Amino acid sequence: MLGTEHDDLRDAVRHMLSRADVSWSGLCGQIGVAGLAVPDEYGGAGATLLEAHVVLEETGRTLAHVPMLATVLATQALLLSGNTTVCADLLPGIVDGTTPATALWADSMSDTVRFVLDGDTADVLVVATPDGLFLGDAKHRVHTPTMDESRRLATVHLSGGTRIGPPAPGLRDIALIALSAEQVGAARQCLDMTVAYTKTRVQFGRPIGSFQALKHRMADMHVLVETARSISYAAVADPRLATAAAAHCAETLSTVAGEMIQLHGGIAITWEHDAHRYFKRAHNSAQLFGQPHEHVARLTEVISSRCASTT
């Protein structure tokens, strides 16, 4: 699935994110991350969600303060609307990074929606409702502080909007798969930080990473991360696996982040160390588009229905 061009993309994004002056405009202008999965007639790169997945894994790895996830959801929601006029009007600005955008779900266009990604800074609100896709108007938007300071969320009070297309049930699967990429990237970083620390932390005259008990725990972390990565990328190819990716990747990040805290010891709960940031991201992201037990329940229903249809 992944080739050398994806490795090159990953390296380019990783280099940009390592810079102290990293910005969303720079990522959009120099690499074009916002338009990877947008057709070239709207200013995009004409690639696929696989390329966006690679970028999301990197932004998750660094907990980057950039609206990549919100942008992917907004651009895909607009494309799912099938409204070429609206796409031609809005997508070029989103792609070049000058028009912040996000997507959200609501029962009606007068709802109050909590925990909207970048909801207080987005100029474009694409609202998915049972009646269709809308460009939403907000009468009031308030930033919602959470324990995860690397993710900006808001409460949005909708006040109507313009219908631009039919309902898009596939948008939630896109959101779950995209989020799983971030979770995989964050989990990988937790593992890498833990391995690096246990190689340098000395106890009883030797690095603690040489102790068999810790080796086994890190091996278990590695298995979880690689399994989660496989499921996440498989879901890109087959969106029917979205709930499996959502459930497994959320659980993996929570488990690996917790193990990272344990294997680092006391330093992991200090403000000076990054470990607490990944732990907070793990628990924040696990609730973002539905809780893990909801994904498991939905996955169970899917499996049960498929088994019933084959008997």
Percent of the chain whose predicted confidence (pLDDT) is above 90: 85
Distance CA 99, CA 96 (A): 8
The confidence score (pLDDT) of residue 301 equals 81
Tokens coding 240: 């029917």
Instruction: Work out the average pLDDT over 68-95.
Output: 98
Instruction: Work out the average pLDDT over 227-254.
Output: 96
**Average pLDDT, rounded, for the chain:** 94
pLDDT tens digits, residue range 137-165? 998 999 999 999 999 999 999 999 999 99
Instruction: Work out the average pLDDT over 126-140.
Output: 96
DSSP 114-151: EEEETTTT-SEEEEEETTEEEEEEEEEEEEE--S-TTS
The confidence score (pLDDT) of residue 153 equals 96
Closest to 71 (Cα-Cα) out of 124, 14, 11:
124
Closest to 91 (Cα-Cα) out of 40, 50, 55:
40
Query: What SS3 class is residue 166?
Result: coil
pLDDT tier for residue 128 given thresholds of 50, 70 and 90: very high
Distance CA 193, CA 60 (A): 14
Instruction: Work out the average pLDDT over 247-256.
Output: 96
pLDDT tens digits, residue range 26-77? 999 999 999 999 999 999 999 999 999 999 999 999 999 999 999 999 999 9
Half-sphere exposure of 42 (CA within 13 A, CB side): 26
- Above 70 in pLDDT, residue 311? no
Percent of the chain whose predicted confidence (pLDDT) is above 70: 100
- Domains of the chain and CATH, by start: 4-168 (1.10.540.10), 171-310 (1.20.140.10)
Instruction: Work out the average pLDDT over 77-82.
Output: 98
- Above 70 in pLDDT, residue 180? yes
pTM to 2 decimals?
0.94
